[in-house]
């Protein structure tokens, strides 16, 4: 395996009790390869299995079967994990820390110290337009402010691969534009970004490729240029594709 992120026959079944009726297949034999330097949009309706997949990738959940590789190595290899930045679906950072302190904690996890840590905090804060967020305890932040701090912590180690679970959620239009600019700058530097989102316009503006899952199954894997070409020749747009691929399954 030599893509940035590779899923081979990934399968996850949740068990909420005894018996077959209490089992739910959240990810169903997912095979997918995200290339290095690619911005990949992971789409799917609520409950499709996106977060489950992302949590398995990050090693927070164990797959029932199948494998995930990051940069050709097992996703549980700590050396490769150092090269990944992650934003969870609901960033839940210690509420008494202010943004600067929280970023320092995350930076230290990646062995950043002293002047280097200070410089990284300044760099990510500038990229995400953090100001009041740095001085106020996180427990007093609005949803969008927390999301910006969450994004900043995902960038603190200058990762080669970013895995973001609904990064646009709660951001105002200025925040969303800022986020898009951050992602495009990362792309220029050859980084890989894998993110889930429900905001189709952001996916269209940013992504090189789109994967769609429904009930744990991959139902579409297409480049954005293929989608745009199809639309230009009178075909369906991304919303129509979404409705066709997943609407029927709901």
Ligand X SMILES: Nc1ncnc2c1ncn2[C@@H]1O[C@H](COP(=O)(O)OP(=O)(O)OP(=O)(O)O)[C@@H](O)[C@H]1O
**From ligand X, Mg ion, none, which one binds at residue 188 (CB under 5 to 8 Å depending on kind)?**
none
Q: Is 50 in the site for ligand X (CB under 6 A)?
A: yes
Name which position in 10, 26, 130, 155 contacts ligand X (CB under 6 A): 26
Question: Alpha-carbon dihedral of residues 7, 58, 37, 154, nearest 10 degrees?
Answer: 160
Which window, 45-53, 64-72, 172-180, 226-234, contacts ligand X (CB under 6 A)?
45-53
Question: Residue 199's beta-bridge partner residues?
Answer: none
- 41 sits near ligand X (criterion: CB under 6 A): no
Among 4, 39, 43, 48, binds ligand X (CB under 6 A): 48
Could you say which of 20, 46, 188, 190 contacts ligand X (CB under 6 A)?
A: 46
Stretch that binds ligand X, among 3-11, 46-54, 74-82, 180-188 (CB under 6 A): 46-54
- Is residue 51 a contact residue for Mg ion (CB under 5 A)? yes
60 touches ligand X by CB under 6 A: no
Under the rule (CB under 5 A), what is the footprint of Mg ion?
50-51, 89
């Amino acid at each position: 395996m030599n893509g940035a992120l590779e899923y081979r026959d990934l399968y996850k079944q949740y068990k909420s009790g005894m018996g077959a009726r209490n089992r739910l297949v959240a990810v169903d034999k997912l095979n997918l390869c995200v290339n290095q330097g690619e911005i990949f949009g992971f789409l799917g309706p609520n409950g499709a299995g996106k977060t489950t997949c992302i949590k398995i990738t990050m090693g927070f959940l164990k797959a029932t079967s199948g494998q995930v590789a990051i940069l050709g190595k097992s996703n549980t290899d700590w050396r490769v994990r150092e090269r990944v930045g992650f934003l969870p679906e609901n960033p839940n950072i210690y509420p008494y820390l202010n943004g600067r302190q929280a970023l320092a904690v995350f930076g230290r996890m990646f062995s950043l110290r002293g002047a280097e840590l200070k410089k990284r905090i300044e760099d990510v804060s500038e990229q995400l337009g953090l100001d009041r967020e740095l001085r106020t305890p996180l427990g007093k932040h609005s949803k969008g402010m927390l999301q910006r701090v969450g994004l900043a912590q995902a960038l603190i180690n200058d990762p080669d691969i970013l895995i973001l679970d609904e990064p646009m959620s709660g951001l105002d239009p200025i925040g969303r534009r800022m986020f898009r600019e951050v992602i495009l700058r990362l792309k220029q530097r050859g980084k890989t970004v894998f993110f889930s989102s429900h905001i189709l316009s952001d996916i269209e503006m940013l992504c090189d490729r789109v994967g769609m899952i429904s009930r744990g199954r991959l139902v579409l894997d297409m480049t954005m240029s293929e989608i745009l070409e199809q639309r230009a020749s009178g075909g369906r747009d991304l919303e129509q594709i979404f409705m066709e691929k997943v609407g029927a399954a709901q």
